[in-house]
Amino acid sequence: MCRHLAYLGPPARLADLLFDPPHALAHQAWAPRDMRGGGTINADGFGVGWFAGETPIRYRSAMPIWSDAALPALAAATTSGAILAAVRSATAGMPVVETAAAPFLDGRWLISHNGVVRGFPGSLAGLAAELPVQELLTLEAPTDSAALSRYIGHHLRAGKPVDEVVATLVAEIRTTAPGSRLNLLLTDGEQIIASTAGHSLSVRATAGAVLVASEPLDDDPAWRPVPDNHLLIATSTDVSLGEV
């Protein structure tokens, strides 16, 4: 498992998501509460992406989030109205390298995947066949999550609606790789799209801000669990849910 979150709203400090709340992402990295499908801690790297203009900025590492000495000051000093962050527990056999840590980046989209594609890479052969070979040769890392992100990015660049791209991907992988876990999380700075398929997710929508996270960051009663097998689409002022 990994843990991930995305925020849209008035400018927030990265620290407001990564470090300061009682169950902030850094806390979820070493003391997650809702693990499904194995794994104990999320120590195989982390990443945070935020919008400061047109193109997102990323800061990623193969180290545990709690061991990065530079991050607390960076997170306290950096604010953004659109943030996506993740901590990673690498699936067995997948490399622990910076480029395998979400968020992946494709155009304006920051993309994260919490889960596993069973039978990877063979089970993705059908989906990969839709991509030009150049796209496969330039994956950020040889992992299931990097491949899913590239597939999503390819179809978004082709102009397909994001909810359709994510829903189609989840449906196809259910068929070609049964037992896969596919909690995807994306933002382009204006909307958040998240799927639940095998892992936990919660959402908190308050006064012009929305926060989607694998686990609630605090005891705020405004947190709502997202049921499994759903697609969430949110802006800073609106959240909608449908089955997927």
Judged by beta carbon, residue 117 or residue 205, the one nearer ligand GLN is 117
Question: Does the footprint of ligand GLN cover residue 88 (CB under 6 A)?
Answer: yes
Q: Which of 1, 2, 71, 192 is catalytic?
A: 2
Question: Does the footprint of ligand GLN cover residue 180 (CB under 6 A)?
Answer: no
Question: Does the footprint of ligand GLN cover residue 1 (CB under 6 A)?
Answer: yes
Question: Does the footprint of ligand GLN cover residue 94 (CB under 6 A)?
Answer: yes
Among this protein's residues, is 2 annotated catalytic? Answer: yes
Judged by beta carbon, residue 21 or residue 39, the one nearer ligand GLN is 39
Judged by beta carbon, residue 16 or residue 106, the one nearer ligand GLN is 106
Judged by beta carbon, residue 51 or residue 88, the one nearer ligand GLN is 88
Cis peptide before 95 (omega within 30 of 0): no
Question: Does the footprint of ligand GLN cover residue 112 (CB under 6 A)?
Answer: no
The span from the CA of 51 to the CA of 2, in Å, is 22
- Other CB atoms closer than 10 Å to residue 73's CB: what's the count? 10
Exactly one of 80, 114, 149, 196 binds ligand GLN (CB under 6 A); that residue is: 114
Residues 117-156 interacting with ligand GLN (rule: CB under 6 A): 143-145
Residues 27-46 interacting with ligand GLN (rule: CB under 6 A): 39
Q: How near is the Cβ of 146 to ligand GLN at its closest, in Å?
A: 8
Q: Please report, as ranges, the residues that interact with ligand GLN according to CB under 6 A.
A: 1-2, 39, 88-91, 94, 100, 113-116, 143-145
